[in-house]
Amino acid sequence: MLKRHTALLLVLISGLTSLIATPSFALTLGIEPSVLEKYRLFLADRDPLTIDDYSGQYSHRGVAEVILIQKALKLGGLDEKIEFKIGPNYARLLKQLQTGDLDVLANSAWLSNLENNIGDFYVSDAVIRDGQFEAGLYTLSTRDDLQSVRSLAQIRTLSAVSNKHWHSDWQTLSALKLVKLYNVAKWSSMLDMVRVQRADFLLAPFQVTPDLSFTNQDDVFVPIAGIKLGLRGSRHFVVSRHIPRADSFYLMLQKGVKQLHEQGEFDKAYRESGFYNPQVASWTKISP
């Protein structure tokens, strides 16, 4: 009789346990605050998986990639919830990914930033292939004195601001042999440097606005017309190897990336967000 009661009690406990909600696992995507802000403004409460037009006021490459990586993971079979975890800058996010404090980067990373610690990462197929990355030399719209710059020799008389942890940007700008190249960690601080004219320009993807401009704190930033800078290297989505089921999440991501490439979704997203911009197709590419 005691055995029967014990068995019945175990069945009841088992049934009650199955009714108790257990916390669901969430995949954390590391993201910079400025990108997250623009991403949320662009979505305007829409489901990112339903986005089929990447153009709009708040769109840029970073915003498009946050949507693309979620689509890739879903196509690969991800059922887990996705949560964003803010990191102050690109370098810190890479470090957190390297140690397993983050699961995945929300945006692509330069392969050159990963190679020294490649054993800490799973790296997807390239989402931006070598030679596809072009950037504008952005300055204040009031700097009419810079709009006559057309040659490498003239660029070398200028100063710029960037982040040394953005290896491709930094190496390309260093090769230009500028008058001065400032190292600043945050994008907002770079804008401030150009705003107060401590630096003449910074690198930025071409925008989708009619005049290729973007606005920050009521200041308008525009590219130096007629020239663009070619950055070498490829960019990839990245998964930390130091998280549970890292290999499984990587295979999901890789499967989704391949499908999005086959569907032409990456080209579409980068074109509509302005990263591949037909307005600058005829501009002179400067490659130091």
CATH of 133-231, one of 3.40.190.10, 1.10.1200.10, 3.30.2010.10, 3.40.50.2000: 3.40.190.10
**Residue 182 pLDDT more than 70?**
yes
What mean pLDDT is predicted for residues 209-237? Answer: 93
* Superfamily of 26-131+233-283 according to CATH: Periplasmic binding protein-like II (3.40.190.10)
| 26-131+233-283 and 133-231 in the same fold | yes
Q: For 154-163, what is each residue's pLDDT tens digit?
A: 999 999 999 9
pLDDT at residue 7 greater than cutoff 80: no
pLDDT level of residue 9 (50, 70, 90 thresholds): very low
Q: What pTM did the predictor assign?
A: 0.75
Domain locations along the chain: 26-131+233-283, 133-231
DSSP secondary structure string for all residues of the chain: -HHHHHHHHHHHHHHHHHHSPPPPPEEEEEE-HHHHHHHHHHHTT--GGG-----STT--HHHHHHHHHHHHHHHTT--SEEEEEE-SSHHHHHHHHHHTS-SEESS-EEHHHHGGGGGGEEEEEEEE-TT-EEEEEEEETT-GGGTT--SHHHHTTSEEEE-TTSHHHHHHHHHTT-SEEEE-S-HHHHHHHHHTTSSSEEEEPPPSSTTS-EEETTEEEEEPTTEEEEEPS-EEEEEESSSTTHHHHHHHHHHHHHHHHHHTHHHHHHHHTTSS-GGGTTSEEE--
Average pLDDT, whole number, for the chain? 90
